[in-house]
Every structure is written in C-alpha cells, then in structure tokens.
Amino acid sequence: MEFINWQDHGQMFEIVLNRPDAYNALHEKMLEELKEALILAEESEANIMLLKGSGKGFSAGGDIKMMLSSGDVKQSEHVIDTISDIAMMIYTMPKITIAAIHGAAAGLGLSLALACDHVMAEKEAKLAMNFIGIGLVPDGGGHFFLERKIGERTAKELIWSGKKLLADEAFKLQLVEEVFSGDLNHHVDVQVEKLLCAPLSAMIESKKIYQSLNVERLQKTLELEKTSQVKMRLTKDHQEGIKAFLEKRKPQFNQ
C-alpha cells in the first residue's frame, strides 16, 4: 500500500495514515487502501486495533483536490460509499479500537477517530468538525458519533461553527477519553498494556451489544449524510468554500 501502513503485532493490529506531506488528507486511493487495511485488521487474531497518523498530525480530513475533481455525481457517490463503509467497519470492528490523535484531526479525519472505542489526544492536538467552512455537512458518521458522545445540541454547535477544540476542551466535552503529554507511542503502549490485562473478550461482547442496538441508526445516518453531501457538493456555497480555502481568504457564502 502507498498511503496506508499496517502491521499485525499479534495482540494489536496497527493502521497508520501515511500521507504526511498532505497532513494525511484522505483522497480516493487512500480511502480504498484504508478499507483494505480494515479488512485485514478484522480478519486478524488481534483483539486491539490502533488507528493513528504519520508526520505532524492525525488527518486534516478529506482531500481538497479530490473534492475539486469529483464534480461527477457518480464519482462523488462512490467516494462517499467508501467513506461510509470505512466508518461502519471501524464502529463494528470486533475488537477494542483506539484512535491516537496528535496535531490536527479535522473533518472526515475526526469522524473516523470518533468511530473508535477509545480516543486519546495529545495535549496540543486540535480537533474540528469543520465541513461547514467549505459548505458541506459531516460525513463518515460524524453526526452519529458526535450526538452519541456530546448530545445533539452541542453537536450542532460544533458542526455549524466549525470551531477548533484543543485536546483539553475536547476532553471536558467528553469528545475524547484521554489527553496525554509526551511521546504518542509511549502512551499508546501504556493503554494497550492496560487492555491486555483486562478481560478483552467480555469487553468486546459488551461492545457487540451496543453495536446491535445502534448499528441501524448509524446506517441510516450514513445514508442521510450521503444524500446531503452529494446535494451540497453541487451548491455555489461549496464551490465558494473550496475557492476561498485555496485562495486563503474568508468565504462569502450566499447559497
């Protein structure tokens, strides 16, 4: 794989977003590779799966150049279907899943991190559900995962404002389970060791119960996000948002 690194450590399956020159922005090829890696993770005997990013951050979200080139509705639908598959695979993974965030976790990158069971963030990390800045709605189950963690009212505030949260702010909102300082890999190792001393099979069974209760709602959310995202990508606001981003100026939205 070119943009995803993975390694089966036996007790833990590690997946690394590996496009550091673009802050691990997710384009179509990278998304397809991530889906392949998740299939391998699910098939492995590991009871723990780790998702993290290489370079200076976790993921800046969806790739802007991909959005510019995906004017065709069918292509947009294919990309969003892949994103939805990835979100569902992470949420239903029959393992304890960990997202280890450093640097930026924005947009789709944040949605995928929140799909994990345990989200840990380095103290200087910045989290944002910032689709609004380019005239889009969250995808990757972002609506579902935000509502489950922080409730509808606060979720809407974050979605509509696109506000950047420091790790401590995210922790206070209960958006992440852990904030750490220092070496990411060390703190991941500490968390993994704690899990390995726990009755993982019982934990995974509890996870499956919650999945069974909620998976239909996640599926419905993903379907609604797809419909809305395809619709929003055809709007003038989205085109203005992309143009403003590339020109490094404030967008002038008018629908």
- Residue 55's domain comprises 4-196
Residue position matching structure tokens 């150049």: 65
Listed range (37-51, 67-81, 164-178) with the worst mean pLDDT: 67-81
Q: Would you say residue 210 lies in a domain?
A: no
Residue position matching structure tokens 């997202």: 99
Phi/psi for 170 (5° steps) reads -60, -35
| Number of compact structural domains in the chain | 1
Q: Residue 102 corresponds to which amino acid?
A: H
Q: Would you say residue 57 lies in a domain?
A: yes
pLDDT of residue 96: 98
pLDDT of residue 104: 96
Instruction: For residues 23-38, give the mean pLDDT.
Output: 96
Listed range (44-53, 162-171, 229-238) with the worst mean pLDDT: 229-238
Q: Would you say residue 206 lies in a domain?
A: no
Q: Tell me if residue 125 falls in helix, strand or coil.
A: coil
Q: Would you say residue 220 lies in a domain?
A: no
**Angle, in degrees to the nearest 10, between helices 28-43 and 73-92:** 30
Per-residue pLDDT tens over the stretch 116-131: 999 999 999 999 999 9
> Bridge partners of 165?
127
* Cβ neighbours for 80, distance < 8 A, ≥ 6 positions apart: 139, 225, 226, 229, 230
Pair of tokens at residue 6:
């993975």
Q: Say which CATH number the domain at 161 has.
A: 3.90.226.10
Q: Would you say residue 233 lies in a domain?
A: no
Question: How far apart are alpha carbons 114 and 72 in whole angstroms?
Answer: 29
pLDDT of residue 2: 93
Q: Tell me if residue 45 falls in helix, strand or coil.
A: coil
In this prediction, residue 71 has a pLDDT band, given cuts at 50, 70 and 90, of low
Residue 68 burial (CB count, 10 A): 12
Per-residue pLDDT tens over the stretch 158-217: 999 999 999 999 999 999 999 999 999 999 999 999 999 999 999 999 999 999 999 999
Please say if the pLDDT value at position 17 is more than 80: yes
* Cβ neighbours for 115, distance < 8 A, ≥ 6 positions apart: 87, 90, 91, 97, 99, 140, 141, 145
Q: Provide the whole-model pTM.
A: 0.94
Q: Would you say residue 33 lies in a domain?
A: yes
pLDDT of residue 244: 84
Instruction: For residues 74-101, give the mean pLDDT.
Output: 94
The runs of H, that is alpha helices, within the chain are 28-43, 64-69, 73-92, 108-114, 142-150, 152-161, 167-172, 184-196, 200-232, 236-247
Question: How far apart are alpha carbons 93 and 113 in whole angstroms?
Answer: 13
Q: Would you say residue 108 lies in a domain?
A: yes
- Mean pLDDT of the chain, nearest integer: 94
pLDDT of residue 240: 86
Please say if the pLDDT value at position 8 is more than 90: yes
Are residues 96 and 72 in contact, defined by beta-carbon separation less than 8 angstroms? Answer: no
In this prediction, residue 52 has a pLDDT band, given cuts at 50, 70 and 90, of very high
pLDDT of residue 53: 98
Q: Residue 160 corresponds to which amino acid?
A: W
Question: How far apart are alpha carbons 83 and 35 in whole angstroms?
Answer: 9
Instruction: For residues 62-69, give the mean pLDDT.
Output: 76
pLDDT of residue 253: 87
Q: Would you say residue 150 lies in a domain?
A: yes
